[in-house]
Amino acid sequence: MVLTERQRTILNAVTERYINTGTPVSSKELVGITGLHVSSSTVRNEFALLEEKGYLTHPHTSAGRVPTDLGYREYVDHLMSSGRPRSSLCRGSEPGTAPAISPEDLAGEIDTALQQATDAMAKATNLLALVLAPRMSGARLCHVELLTLHPSQLMYVFIVSTGAVMKGVIDRPQPVDPGLVEWARTYLNETFADQALTTRLVRRALDNPGLGPREAAFLKALAPAFEKLVDEQYQEELFVGGTSRLLAAPRPQDISSLRDLLSLLEERFLLLRVLRAVLGSGTVVVRIGSEHEATALQPFSVVAAGYGLPQRNLGTVSLVGPTRMDYETAIATVRETAQLLSELVGERYE
C-alpha cells in the first residue's frame, strides 16, 4: 500500500513519539511538527486512513494512536533507506565523552572480546544483546540410529564427535514402515559421513530434491530433531548481555514484555534459529513482532547483522526487545558492532 508523503510524515511522527513516551499519540500533539502544517481535524482524518490501511491502531480507552507491526515496519524501512541511524557505541554518547567501545578495547581472546562487545551493546541500548560466536571447530555427526519402538513410534539417536548423545521419540500418525526406517538410517549416515554439523549440511540432507515423496515426508518428520541437534552445538557459543539492565528500571508498560523476554532466554533454540538465519544476509536485518514464525518471539523485535570475512560471515550480533524499541539506536549499534567484530575476527582468521 502506497502512503502519501503527509501520511508517512504522520506515521513516522506517531511512531517516534510512541517509542519515546509509551503513550498513545493524539492529533493535537502533531499539529505544527516539522514538515506538517495542517489542522488537527486533517490529522485525525489521516489517522483514520492509516488505521484503515493497518499502520495505526488505538487502544479502546484512548483516542490516541499507536503503531502496529506494519507501522513499525514502514518506519524501520524509512530509517534504513534514509541512512539516519547513527550510534554512540564507537564515539561516545555526548561530544567529548569516551566511546562505549573501540577496537583497542577488544581483548586478545576472542571470547573475552565478544562478551565485551555484548555488554557494550546492552549498555548503549538498554536492550537484550546477543552475540553468536564463530565456530572454531565444528562438531561432527558420527552416527544416526533410528529404532521403531511401537508401530507408530520412532526413536532417534544422534552421536556427536564431542561425545554428546541426543535422543528422542517421534509419534507418527500412521504405522512406521520398517523398510523406510532402514533406508533413512543408511541414507543419513552416508550423507553426514562424519562431516562438520552445520545448518547447511542438514538442509541439504533433508531437502534433497532427488528423493521420492515417501522418503521426503519421512525425513521432514525428523527435521525438528536435527534443528535441535544443531542448536545444541551452539549453546556455548552464545554471549548474552543486558539482562540485569532490563530489570533495573523497567517502564511500567514494558514490565510484562520484559518478563516474557527473559523467559525467552530459556528457549535458546528459537533465538539461535533467528540468529543463524541472518548469517548469509550481508546486511542489518530487522524482524518485528508478527513477522516472526515462532509465536514465542512475536511480542518482540530482533535487530541483527552478521560479522566475519568479506566472503563468509562467521557470527551474528543482535539486539532483542519489545516492539516499542528505539530502532534507530538499535540498528546503528548492531551495524557498528558488526563492523568492529569483522575487523577483529578478520585479522585472526586471515
Tell me the DSSP string of 24-88.
PBPHHHHTT-TT----HHHHHHHHHHHHHTTSEE--TT-SSBEE-HHHHHHHHHHHHHHT----S
Domain boundary among 233, 249, 282: 233
Of the pLDDT bands very low, low, confident and very high (cuts 50, 70, 90), residue 228 is confident
Do 272 and 310 reside in the same domain of the chain? yes
120 assigned to some structural domain = yes
Contacts of 246 (CB under 8 A, 6+ apart): 126, 127, 128, 258, 261, 262
Do 308 and 214 reside in the same domain of the chain? no
Do 302 and 211 reside in the same domain of the chain? no
Tell me the whole-structure pTM to 2 decimals.
0.70
d(CA 249, CA 1): 39
Average pLDDT over residues 277-293: 87
Do 334 and 276 reside in the same domain of the chain? yes
Of the pLDDT bands very low, low, confident and very high (cuts 50, 70, 90), residue 324 is very high
User: Which range is least confidently modeled, 84-98, 143-157, 204-218, 229-243?
Assistant: 84-98
Query: C-alpha grid cell for residue 270?
Result: 528459537
Average pLDDT over residues 191-195: 83
User: Which range is least confidently modeled, 12-16, 65-69, 213-217, 245-249?
Assistant: 245-249
Percent of the chain with pLDDT over 90: 39
Do 131 and 227 reside in the same domain of the chain? no
Domain boundary among 171, 200, 233: 233
Do 208 and 267 reside in the same domain of the chain? no
306 assigned to some structural domain = yes
27 assigned to some structural domain = yes
| Amino acid (1-letter code) at residue 198 | T
What average pLDDT does the structure give for the chain? Answer: 82
Of the pLDDT bands very low, low, confident and very high (cuts 50, 70, 90), residue 93 is very low
Query: C-alpha grid cell for residue 142?
Result: 558420527
Do 208 and 332 reside in the same domain of the chain? no
Per-residue pLDDT tens digits for 135-162 = 655 677 888 999 988 888 999 998 887 5
Do 256 and 345 reside in the same domain of the chain? yes
d(CA 235, CA 145): 23
How far, in whole angstroms, is CA 133 from its chain's centroid? 15
97 assigned to some structural domain = no
Do 183 and 267 reside in the same domain of the chain? no
Q: What is the CA radius of gyration of the chain?
A: 24
Report the CATH number at residue 179: 3.30.390.60
96 assigned to some structural domain = no
- Yes or no: say if 336 and 89 are a contact pair by the CB < 8 Å rule: yes
| CA proximity to 271, closest of 118, 114, 136, 129 | 129
Report the CATH number at residue 275: 3.30.450.40
Report the CATH number at residue 11: 1.10.10.10
First to last CA, the chain: 46
- Counting the structural domains of the chain, the total is 3
Per the structure, the complete domain to which residue 205 belongs is given by 141-233
What residue has cell string 517502564? 251
Q: Sign of the CA dihedral 297, 301, 307, 313?
A: positive
